[in-house]
Structure formats: C-alpha cells, structure tokens
Amino acid sequence: MSLSEEKKSILITGGAGFIGSNFVHHWCKNYPDDQVVVLDALTYAGNRENLANIKDKKHFKFIQGDICDRPLIDKLLKEEKITTIAHFAAESHVDRSIIGPDAFIQTNVIGSFTLLESFRHYWNEQGKLKDYRFLHVSTDEVYGSLEADDPAFSETTPYAPNSPYSASKAGSDHLARAYFHTYNVPTIITNCSNNYGPYHFPEKLIPLMCINILLGKPLPVYGDGQNIRDWLYVGDHCSALETVINKGKPGETYNIGGNNEVKNIDLVTILCSLMDELAPDLPVKPSKELITFVKDRPGHDRRYAIDATKIKTELGWTPQETLEKGLRKTIEWYLNNQSWWQPLLSKDYQEYYQKVYG
C-alpha cells in the first residue's frame, strides 16, 4: 500500500486559521475516513467559524490548546494515535511582528520546538515507523529579499530573514531540519509564497483591500507600491501540501509558488477593477480613487519569487489557478460571507489598525 492509500490520524495545528482551515476542509474532503484532529489556541487569528461546516463530521476533533503545552501534546499524540502532523500554528503577520515580536518567538520558535520534541519521543516509542510524517509549513520570507533581476528563491538559497516574523520562522525551519539530521525524525519543510483565498484574516493585503473597498475606506499602499510578491491560491497550496505529505521525502525542503509575481500597486489596481465589476453599490466608484500611498513598513522586503522546479519535477505538482480566476473566487467569497468578516472588525482590530496605519 502506498503512503497516500493508508488511513492516517492527522494532527493539524493552527487548523482554525486561514491556511490551516482550508487544509482541514481539503483533507476531510479527500480522505473522509482519516481521523482529523485540530489543535488551535484560538488567538485573534483563529476562528471556530472557519470549521463550522465540519464540526460534527465523523472522525473530526477540535482541541483548543497551545503548541507550547508539552503535557497536552504528549497526551494528544498518544491518545489520538497520530501518524502525521501538519504544523501550521504560528503568529503569521509581519506588521504585528514589528509591533510586538514576543509572541512570534514564543509560538513560532518555542512552540515548534515543543511539538518537534514531543513528536520525537512519541515516534521513538512507536518504533520509529518510517511512514510517520512531521510537515513543517513555512514561508519564502526566510530567504530574505530579492532585487528585480535576481533569480527566484530555490531550496538552496541561503537563509537571510529580515523581519521578526521571518526570523522566527527561520528558527523553526532550522529546528525541523536538525531533528531529521540528528534524530532521523521524518520532518519535511515547505516554503511557500503569499497565499490568498477564503477565510483570510483582514489584516493581510488582499482581504484588507477588499473590505476597505466595501466600506469606502482608504486603501493603504506601503511606500512606492513597487514591492513584488508571488501569489498562491490557498487551494493550490493545500494540494501541494497533500502531495508533499504523500510523496515527499523526509529531510527534504520543497518550495511552493503560484507563478504569479505582481507589484503591490498593480495587484491593488486589479482588485479595484474586479471589485467595481463584482460588488454592487460600492460607496466609492471607481474604487481605485481610494488608493493612498502611506509610510513604508520598516525593513520592507522588496521582492519575493519562488522557483518551484523541485516540487514539479520530483513530485509532479504545479499550481492550477490563474491570478485573475483566484481573485474572482476570493472576492466572491468575501461578498457572500460578510457575516464571517464583519465580527472580525472588532475593537482589538481597530486598535491594531490605528497602531499600523495611524
């Protein structure tokens, strides 16, 4: 039987967040007989509503808890007979890491370490079974910043993280790598580009712009708007992670990209014209009149780009979504799910917004 055909008991940390919850939906749909356990601390970014339509599914369990809580994780791995960990839980937003890096070190470094250490002991007790997996989900931001003509990041690009967020993710990547090399723990690392799609918390560029357009609020573009990001539709990311869990080699790293490098200002302009087309009764139309250049983010990386040749040639995965189609689906989701995002614009969110945008 191949790895993908065996029944798994999969622990998904951060499964109530943006990518984690999309991955939970993806996994439950493709592997309805697998046991799926979500561990999530429900920080500001975690939301039970993201999992509302699967909460009563057979073989699904939600546990509210912290990845830094070693006794909880030791117990959970044993009781649920976990065979695979897909580790998403993290503090994930660069601007928040600039305002307050502490939680990033605690969750991203100490939390990932705690999970790895617990899994190492558990895996040893289970007889070091070779089909167990620890998938560590990371970011392309660990590679630092590219100039316009630099080649895209490959798996051998040296690490050069620039923000407290990317430095904390780099730290956890190094630990995941070391656990394979030192203890043979079957870890795999993935480094992906900027995701977008349903359930994206409205602090990140795309949902923030969509919601501000609906509210007629300014669209804050940092600096000169010429920074470049590669955009990966979250559904494509989930299928890449599924491929890596089933076919990836322990000890390896795989870069995952969307083949969609765009300047921020161009992306925001595309979003404005799609919103003008798709959203009824906008308070300001054309919505691009709302674009406002604001003070740059400190240490703002200029360009990220992914060379995803390895996952394509070794595992046969490529992204399926074009940027325009992906953005249309995303906008339609935000238009049809206003009751999902409206409660997120809470007092805490307004305080955060004030700190970043003044």
**Which sequence positions are flagged as catalytic?**
140-141, 165
Q: Which residues in the 91-110 window bind ligand TYD by CB under 6 A? A: 94
Q: Which residue number, 110 or 315, has a Cβ lying nearer to ligand NAD?
A: 110
C-alpha 333 chain-centroid distance: 18
Helices assigned H by DSSP within 82-230: 94-99, 102-104, 112-125, 164-183, 205-215
- Is residue 200 within the footprint of ligand TYD (CB under 6 A)? no
Tokens of 98: 């600039």
**DSSP structure string for 207-242:** HHHHHHHHHT--EEEETTS--EEEEEEHHHHHHHHH
195 binds, among ligand NAD, ligand TYD, none (CB under 5 to 8 A by kind): ligand NAD
264 binds, among ligand NAD, ligand TYD, none (CB under 5 to 8 A by kind): ligand TYD
Of the candidate spans 7-15, 37-45, 203-211, 323-331, the one that interacts with ligand TYD by CB under 6 A turns out to be 203-211
Distance CA 250, CA 246 (A): 11
Characterize 116-155 residue by residue with b for buried, 16 or more Cβ atoms within 10 angstroms of its Cβ, and e for exposed.
bbbbbebbeeeeeeeebbbbbbbbbbbbbbbeeeeebbeb
Residue from 45, 77, 208, 240 touching ligand TYD (CB under 6 A): that is 208
Smallest Cα–Cα separation from 204: which of 188, 180, 222?
222
SS3 call for 276: helix
Distance CA 310, CA 315 (A): 8
Residue from 48, 59, 177, 204 touching ligand TYD (CB under 6 A): that is 204
- Is residue 220 within the footprint of ligand TYD (CB under 6 A)? yes
Smallest Cα–Cα separation from 193: which of 209, 179, 208, 204?
204
40 binds, among ligand NAD, ligand TYD, none (CB under 5 to 8 A by kind): ligand NAD
Residue from 76, 86, 192, 205 touching ligand TYD (CB under 6 A): that is 205
Q: Which residues in the 245-264 window bind ligand TYD by CB under 6 A? A: 264
217-204-41-232 Cα dihedral, nearest 10 degrees: 140
How far apart are CB 138 and ligand NAD at their closest, in Å?
6
Distance CA 151, CA 162 (A): 18
Distance CA 238, CA 137 (A): 11
Q: Which residue number, 56 or 147, has a Cβ lying nearer to ligand TYD?
A: 147
- Is residue 349 within the footprint of ligand TYD (CB under 6 A)? no
Q: What angle do CA 268, 272, 273 make, to 5 degrees?
A: 120
Q: Which residue number, 252 or 290, has a Cβ lying nearer to ligand NAD?
A: 252
How far apart are CB 231 and ligand NAD at their closest, in Å?
9
How far apart are CB 76 and ligand TYD at their closest, in Å?
30
Residue from 221, 306, 308, 331 touching ligand TYD (CB under 6 A): that is 221
By Cβ distance, which residue is nearest to ligand NAD?
Answer: 17
214 binds, among ligand TYD, ligand NAD, none (CB under 5 to 8 A by kind): none
How far apart are CB 35 and ligand TYD at their closest, in Å?
32
Unique residue bearing structure tokens 């307050």: 100
Binding site for ligand NAD (CB under 6 A): 13-14, 16-20, 40-43, 45-46, 66-68, 88-92, 107, 111, 137-139, 169, 192, 194-195, 201
Of the candidate spans 29-37, 154-162, 218-226, 337-345, the one that interacts with ligand TYD by CB under 6 A turns out to be 218-226
Q: Which residue number, 83 or 195, has a Cβ lying nearer to ligand TYD?
A: 195
Q: Which residue number, 114 or 191, has a Cβ lying nearer to ligand TYD?
A: 191
Q: In sequence order, what E strands does the chain have?
A: 9-13, 35-40, 60-64, 84-87, 133-139, 187-192, 194-196, 219-222, 228-233, 253-256, 261-263, 291-294
